[in-house]
Amino acid sequence: MVWLVVGLVVALVVTVGAAAVTAFVLIGGDDDGADASREDRTAPAERDDERGPTGESPSPELEPFYTQSLSWESCDETAEDGRGDFECTWLEVPLDYDEPDGDTLDLRVLRRAADGPADERVGSLLVNPGGPGSGGTELAAREDAYGDALLESFDIVGWDPRGTGQSSPIDCLSDADLDDYLAASGDPNTPEGVALAEEWQQRLGEGCEELSPDLVGHISTVETAKDMDVLRAVLGDEEMHYLGFSYGTTLGAVYATYFPERSERLVLDGATDPELDRVEGSLSQTAGFELAFRNYLQACVDDGDCPVGDSVDEGLQTVQGLLDSLLEEPLPTSDPDRVLTQALGTTGIQAALYNEQNWPFLTDGLEEALGGQGDTLLLLADFYADRDVSGGYASNLMEAFYAISCLDDPTSLSPEEAAQYADDFDEAAPTFGDGGELGLGWCSAYPGRQAEEPREVTGAGAAPIVVIGTTGDPATPYEEAVAMAETLESGVLVTREGEGHTAYGSGNDCIDEAVEAFLVEGVVPEDGLTCS
């Protein structure tokens, strides 16, 4: 059984033997010449000091947060490629917006200053990679994720949302327990399998309560949207410019709902459907991965010599048989202390579906697994969970995903209630759906509750919001983007015909040009624009 699926945008490179494997290469950009005007640009700290916080606060009690001054310092070491001119700071926000005089949180913020002249700078572009649970500072530091038009015109600003990254990360399990949780596999059609799911649901909730009691009720999407507005104001921007991916589209839509008058140019790429309940959302995503896997298998067969069969149906049967066998007999790996379980094998397959560039590595992993070794699929699963080579976790992504998801929607079904959806999951996804219904009880033991009832997402009063969907997206199926564009009163739908999760930076010039023209010049793309 698979316990969870995370939608995020990260770039990680590992080496397997002589082959470099790029896992989850979801967005990119042509950064040729990105350094060309670096020496000509105005120092970003000086520019922001001149502009200062905008000062407009929703209430007198929040004024100290909206008028705070940021103290920037160099953090060039953040750049993986050694390039830099990055600055970092801490943003202070209230732990509880209903009690602004109470405890506070410090959120980590990273800024890459615009390459262009100060008088041609549009403003700050806030970016979020998704999750929920993925920090945004690393995305802001990825210069190859943005086209020259954005790098010239915007300070790219990423922040680690509350409870993630360096911003008071929520903790629920030790690294060893997290290993066990992600590897846990049980037959959902047996009492033992159901009991295993319930055990981990309980352990997760109790762990969050024990290790992070102050955070469990205060890392919701609504609170993060309010943090975004504080950051916007303190950066000196009258209006919000935003580029959000995957779950980041949920966050952007919530921001537009709470702060429509500030929502000037928002791009929501890989959009979710905010109206789906837990059952509908789980079925939608599970079906999305099934579709993406079928598309992968078709490409594998078309290329010839596909190790799982000579047709899509044969490939499905082969891989389903492989996953079934892992339940009884996990595969050995080069690490004598770890095996490839059914859960890890499924996660490894799904991880590779995030980007078409990773399909050759999925083929290698499946061929290797059919030969009795699980290293490549385990590798993919590890990078999906941000597990590093030392055996630790580079971030709290998995725990934050659980906590934020359950705080946003605490809906939880009992095993008896969930069982009625077993056939629906099997029908939606013959490969990945078995046991999917057990995830419907995932939040049964989560201890936190939101302080306020979230508003219905409409973005009423906001400027046009560009919503992008990709027809073969596994994690946020295309139909969800269509629904998001319809739900938002000013939603404008743009479609990428293709595979993989998210569209901007995927190599589609039509998408990139539309996004950049909108963000830089305010040119709203035609509603219904399709880019093939």
Residue partners of 33: CB distance under 8 A and separation at least 6: 148
Question: What are the C-alpha distances in Å from 263 to residues 87, 253, 459?
Answer: 25, 10, 9
State yes or no: is 37 an active-site residue: no
Q: Is 246 a residue of the active site? A: yes
Q: Give the residue ranges of DSSP H helices in 146-305.
A: 148-153, 175-183, 191-211, 221-234, 247-258, 278-303
What are residue 492's DSSP bridge partners? 466
* Nearest partner of 338 among 409, 389, 398, judged by Cα: 389
User: For residue 330, which of 321, 338, 339 has the smallest C-alpha distance?
Assistant: 339
Catalytic residue among 229, 269, 473, 512: 473
- The sign of the torsion formed by the CA atoms of 173, 179, 185, 191 equals negative
Smallest Cα–Cα separation from 163: which of 439, 445, 402, 452? 402
Find tokens 């997206």 and name the residue.
473
| CA distance linking residue 521 with residue 515, whole number of Å | 10
274: Cβ–Cβ under 8 A, 6 or more apart, which residues? Answer: 250, 253, 254, 457, 483, 484, 487
> CB of 488 within 8 A of CB of 467?
yes
H-helix or E-strand containing 158?
Answer: strand 154-159
Name the one residue in this structure whose structure tokens are 């399709």.
530
State the Cα–Cα distance between residues 1 and 423, nearest whole angstrom.
15
Residue 439 in tokens: 């995830």
Catalytic residue among 124, 185, 246, 405: 246
Distances (CA, A) of 362 to 154, 357, 376, 519: 37, 10, 8, 35
| Catalytic-residue membership of 473 | yes
Are 399 and 165 contacting, i.e. CB atoms less than 8 angstroms apart? no
- Polymer length in residues for the chain: 532
Cβ-contact 87, 156 below 8 angstroms: no
DSSP state letter for 505: T
Nearest to 253 by CA among 26, 14, 468, 518: 468
Identify the bridge partners of residue 493 per DSSP, sorted by sequence position: 467
The whole-angstrom separation of Cα 80 and Cα 70 is 25
Cβ–Cβ < 8 Å for 91, 231: yes
Active-site pick, 124, 167, 501, 506:
501
Preceding omega of 525 cis (within 30 degrees of 0): no
8 Å CB contact between 495 and 529:
yes
The residues assigned a catalytic role are: 246, 473, 501
